[in-house]
Structure 1
Amino acid sequence: MLDTVDTELRTRYPGTDGQAQPIHTAYVPADRIMEDTPSTWGAAAVELLDRHHDLLAELDSTGSLPDVRKRLAQDPIQDLRIDFEDGYGFRTDAEEDEAASAAGAVLATWAYTPYRPQSYGIRTKGLAVGERNRTVRTLELVLAAMVDVPAGFVFTVPKIRAAEQVPALVALCEGLESGYRLRAGTLRFELQIESPQAIIAADGTAPIARMIGLAEGRCSALHFGTYDYTAACGVAAPDQALDHPAADYAKSVMQVAAAQTGVWVCDGSTQIVPDTEPEAALRNHHRLVGRSLRRGYYQGWDMHPGHLVTRWLATYDFFRQAIDVAVPRLQAYLDRRSGGVMDEPATAEALAATVLRGVECGARTAEDLAARAPELSPAVLRALVTRAPIPQEVLS
């Protein structure tokens, strides 16, 4: 009896697959995407950083600003979606056909260019009766223009409202893989949670856990839609925000449903951009990113080049501070010393995961960590995260 239970739990909760979660997803409308969009966003972000250096230095609590500037100049965007939904709007079929083919061509060039994001894809329209034919056609045209689907390509499906929509996405992926002669399992999708019905269904259940199971391993992430969700909950427009209690509740449900499944949770966006009142917008976004990180949402949407500045700054600050706390506690854990805190294996797992995230996003380098704590090698950290046996030479 228990062997069967163990098998079921291992299947449903496999844990992380070892891939590094990006810190953000940049959304760019399909009619504005260009081959050099990542570098032009980075250049605009550097210009904004230089223009508001004093303010950003005030926000910087770990001396990270020079490294943030370097990051923006060299590798500003980790993950990007070409948006065919709200950021693009409804166009004629001929216009969206042309935009879809053009987007696929851009994605194809990124497979061979040094300034590409680490991962990328598109956001389609939704699955409602008036949109789903357009969704399928746009996805087909993008795939046709790409020819080869790169590792890390994903499409985001907005306004998911029912678990029963997910098997249709699985069937769509299977059909496209067959039609385009792709390896089985190549196509993966993200579910955008922006409807109350996705949080609590008509029968009172929480359907997101079912959605993940019905995705048959193809769902890579859950993305939160701030404004559609809070609007659907009846929140007045001036109060719709990432930190509204209604949004916090929805994201908590998403977080619990996705825990230990290997599915990432991505926070939503803010519509406040650093154009007309840049100082207020920069402060606000820096605060919101830090707040999300403290709540365990390690990825969020960025809608404007200016968001990149405070995204990287708040992320570097968060992980540098977290690593400063985590490293001595992990050293004490490996030495079986208290250091004032008696950590359990679950806490060591979380501490190690934090250090890995901080190194993977560039807040600290592997060389920095090796100089400070040579016993905390990537192999040791991953062993702590997966609760595998620690290499014996570390314990001796």
Structure 2
Amino acid sequence: MDGRLTGDVYAGIDARLSEVDARVESRYPGEPAGRQPVHTVYVPAHRYVPGLVARWGEQARAVFDSDGAALGLDPAVAERVRRKLVTEPVEDLRIDFEDGYGSPGDSAEDDAALACGRVLAENPATPFSGIRFKSFERATRRRGIRTLDLFLSGLLEHGKLPAGFVVTLPKVTAVEQVGAAAEVLGHLETAYSLPARTLRFEVQIETSQSIVDGDGRIAVARIVQAAEGRCSGLHYGTYDYSAGLGIAAGYQSMEHPAADFAKSFMQVSAAGTGVRLSDGSTNRLPVAQALVPAWREHLRLVRRSLERGFYQGWDLHPHQLPTRFAATYGFFRDGLAAAAGRLRDYAARVDSGVLDEPATARALAGFLLRGLDCGAVAGDELTGLTRTQLESYTRFRG
């Protein structure tokens, strides 16, 4: 039996929504292809020297070998942590010219920017890298732009732009600053003869104005749009954000209700846009007598972030590397059997008692791909599933 609506009705609705369709497809391309680092390691620019990543790995490995048994890790996880600390102790390195560096004067910062660019060119030791420059607020804007310019000069005079290169824009207090940063990156691409849209940036969410602006509008969604496709990530800044809300220092943390409020806004605003999320850091460092207690807290906080859909965070000290990887590997290995089993049942249309939908299949495949990418899971542990199959599920939008 034929329906009673004519072709003109269908065509009219398509025409009415064509502009909306184009806008939605542009703004929500879905999860980007490729690996996301599990952490970003921030190193003050004046401490960034050749061999730094290897030394971080050696220091982390030594403390894990001497005291790691106190964590009571599963042997399979512990072995993976040891291997990681040898082969790739830092996934994403951010050379910091902002809070971790301070303001030593223009001449000193000029020299440091050039030197750090040269060191990175000659020591591309991590899969992802970049710098954090000073904010685009009036007092620091010109200094931040000049540092980025000189850093690229030092880098490109001695090598090429590394794969996975990204810069970090801190302390956004107005959406327009993000648009201005995107414009500057375009000018730098022209100045250094880089392909268009090569340079991308992360935005740090560490001010109240980057969540809700002065007019009461949700700012974080507008930040993503203002970046004109150059925003690769939103990173939560634990301590600047907390301090800006007047939270006492002793209660500032990644798990404060105010932090969860901000991160929920980040999550909703970034969903489907291709912009990835990162949680912040803990300033309780695992050193001296505080080593094991701080390790246990770090394990718990990293696991908490992972369970809430934040697959990346900040690390500030070599001793945080063992627990970053231990928490991450434990999370993915704990969920491996269930996720792989559910996805196999979904693919085979097996009645397992759980009714999974295409969106859940995407999430299951995404979980397994993240486990593979970070080293928690080996391909031969995914019996009956291949990486190609997993990637096809993450791309499916039916």
Instruction: Return the TM-score normalized by structure 1.
Output: 0.93
Q: Which residue of 1 aligns with 2:65?
A: 50
Matched, 1:326 2:335: no
Q: Which residue of 2 aligns with 1:393?
A: none
TM-aligned CA deviation for residue 130 of structure 1: 1.1
TM-aligned CA deviation for residue 16 of structure 1: 2.1
TM-aligned CA deviation for residue 180 of structure 1: 1.3
Q: Which residue of 2 aligns with 1:394?
A: none
Q: Which residue of 2 aligns with 1:33?
A: 48
Give the 5 Å matches for 1:1-396: 1-56=16-71, 58=72, 60-61=73-74, 63-111=76-124, 116-147=125-156, 148-276=160-288, 277-369=290-382, 373-374=383-384, 376-387=385-396
Measure the CA separation in 2 of the matches of 1:61 and 1:260: 35
Let me know the Cα RMSD of the aligned residues.
Answer: 1.2
Measure the CA separation in 2 of the matches of 1:41 and 1:201: 39
Aligned letter for 2:170? P
Measure the CA separation in 1 of the matches of 2:341 and 2:145: 51
Aligned letter for 1:17? P
TM-aligned CA deviation for residue 388 of structure 1: 6.1
Measure the CA separation in 2 of the matches of 1:78 and 1:291: 20
Gaps in structure 1 of 5+ consecutive residues: 390-396
SS of alignment partner, residue 209 of structure 1: helix
* Largest Rg, 1 or 2: 2
Gaps in structure 2 of 5+ consecutive residues: 1-15
TM-aligned CA deviation for residue 387 of structure 1: 1.3
TM-aligned CA deviation for residue 62 of structure 1: 6.7
Measure the CA separation in 2 of the matches of 1:51 and 1:308: 14
Measure the CA separation in 2 of the matches of 1:178 and 1:356: 36
Measure the CA separation in 1 of the matches of 2:142 and 2:293: 42
Number of equivalenced pairs? 379
**Contact 1:125/1:131, CA 8 A, preserved across alignment:** yes
TM-aligned CA deviation for residue 61 of structure 1: 4.4
Measure the CA separation in 2 of the matches of 1:268 and 1:310: 15
Measure the CA separation in 2 of the matches of 1:304 and 1:340: 46
Structure 1 residues 288-312: Cα deviation after superposition (integer angstroms, max 9, x where no partner) = 0000000000000000001110000
Measure the CA separation in 1 of the matches of 2:62 and 2:162: 32
SS of alignment partner, residue 80 of structure 1: strand
Structure 1 residues 165-209: Cα deviation after superposition (integer angstroms, max 9, x where no partner) = 111111101111111111111111111110011111112111111
Structure 1 residues 246-299: Cα deviation after superposition (integer angstroms, max 9, x where no partner) = 011101100110111111111000001111310111001000000000000000
Structure 1 residues 208-227: Cα deviation after superposition (integer angstroms, max 9, x where no partner) = 11111111111111111100
**Contact 2:136/2:181, CA 8 A, preserved across alignment:** no
Structure 1 residues 41-75: Cα deviation after superposition (integer angstroms, max 9, x where no partner) = 0101001101212212x1x2473101111110111
Structure 1 residues 311-342: Cα deviation after superposition (integer angstroms, max 9, x where no partner) = 00000000011222101111111111132211
Measure the CA separation in 1 of the matches of 2:227 and 2:75: 41
Aligned letter for 1:272? R
Q: Which residue of 2 aligns with 1:392?
A: none
**Contact 1:269/1:301, CA 8 A, preserved across alignment:** yes
SS of alignment partner, residue 150 of structure 1: coil
SS of alignment partner, residue 109 of structure 2: helix
**Contact 2:299/2:324, CA 8 A, preserved across alignment:** yes
Percent of aligned pairs with the same residue?
A: 47
TM-aligned CA deviation for residue 108 of structure 1: 0.5
**Contact 2:305/2:311, CA 8 A, preserved across alignment:** yes
Measure the CA separation in 1 of the matches of 2:108 and 2:338: 53
TM-aligned CA deviation for residue 19 of structure 1: 1.5
Measure the CA separation in 1 of the matches of 2:56 and 2:244: 32
Measure the CA separation in 2 of the matches of 1:145 and 1:47: 33
SS of alignment partner, residue 31 of structure 1: helix
**Contact 2:42/2:316, CA 8 A, preserved across alignment:** yes
Aligned letter for 1:40? R
Measure the CA separation in 2 of the matches of 1:358 and 1:67: 12
Instruction: Return the TM-score normalized by structure 2.
Output: 0.93
Measure the CA separation in 2 of the matches of 1:53 and 1:387: 41
Larger deviation, residues 224-233 vs 170-179: 170-179
Measure the CA separation in 2 of the matches of 1:356 and 1:349: 10
SS of alignment partner, residue 64 of structure 1: helix
SS of alignment partner, residue 16 of structure 1: coil
Aligned letter for 1:317? G
